[in-house]
Every structure is written in C-alpha cells, then in structure tokens.
Structure 1
Amino acid sequence: MKGQENKEEKMECKKEENLVSCLCTYYSCSRKGVCCDCIRYHLKSRQLPGCCFSRDAEATYDRSFEHFARLVQEGKV
C-alpha cells in the first residue's frame, strides 16, 4: 500500500518517568512502570490498572470495572 513501509515502529518505554506517577502498591509487580504491559494485563481480567484510582481506592486491590464505576458515580474519580 502507498505510504506504508515494512518497518516495524517501536516506541521507547519511559519506565523511569512512568514510575514517578505509578500508584500501584504491589511493589514486586514486574509490570510496574511499563504501562502498555500493565494495561494489557489488567484488561484481560476486566480490570483497570492502579493508576486509574486514587491511592485509597487502589489500596483496596479492587481494580474491577465495577469498582471504578462506583467511584465515578460517587464523584471520587
């Protein structure tokens, strides 16, 4: 196709920069700071990553869509 090349584009991971704002309290997580892997992992389980929640909400370890929706309805997110 016109305009497409056979080159695979790779994005540079900004892990160190991501870690500054990562709210995940699961410190031994291998995906911590690697947002694309974290999001992929959680979406498979119908969850959102910890960064979508406040510190208090994330500390409950309930990262379900339903928990997030309740927080939105309560105006906490």
Structure 2
Amino acid sequence: MECKKEKNLEACLCSYYSCSRKGVCCDCIRYHLKSRQLPGCCFSIDAESTYDRSFEHFARLVQEGKI
C-alpha cells in the first residue's frame, strides 16, 4: 500500500511541526492510541493547540457540542 503523505498533509491539523509522523496517518494513529490519545486531526484547531489529545478531552468536547 502506498502512503499518501503529501495528500494527508493537506488535512493534517497537527501543530507540532517537527513531528516525524506528520502526514503518515497510520504511524500517527498507532503512536497516539498507545498513549490513550487521538491524533490532532480529530480535534478542532483550538482544541488541538492545547496538546491535550486524551480520550477524556475528546469526550468532553463532544458532550459540549464542540466537535
């Protein structure tokens, strides 16, 4: 399977610019799930910039209607 890194980068909201997984979604998802987190693309720009990518933070945002 071919990685579509350049296409993925168009939708990547990750604000951690030096991330080696940026645009490589399979690596990013695997990395974050190991830490009970979701990748930045699951959050709004404001929520992602807090760097709190926890499941709990995501659930709070859903309950508040922000996602």
TM-score by length of 1: 0.86
For residues 15 and 27 of structure 1, the distance between their equivalents in structure 2, rounded to whole angstroms, comes to 15
Match of 1:58? 48
What letter matches 1:23 in structure 2? Answer: L
The answer on 1:21 being equivalent to 2:11 is: yes
Match of 2:21? 31
Give the number of equivalent residue pairs.
67
Percent of counterpart pairs with the same letter?
90
- The alignment's C-alpha RMSD in Å is 0.3
What letter matches 1:36 in structure 2? Answer: C
Query: Stretches of 4+ moved more than 2 A in 1?
Result: none
Match of 1:67? 57
| Larger RCO (CA within 8 A; separation ≥ 6) | 2
Match of 1:48? 38
Please identify the structure whose Cα radius of gyration is greater.
1
For residues 71 and 12 of structure 1, the distance between their equivalents in structure 2, rounded to whole angstroms, comes to 33
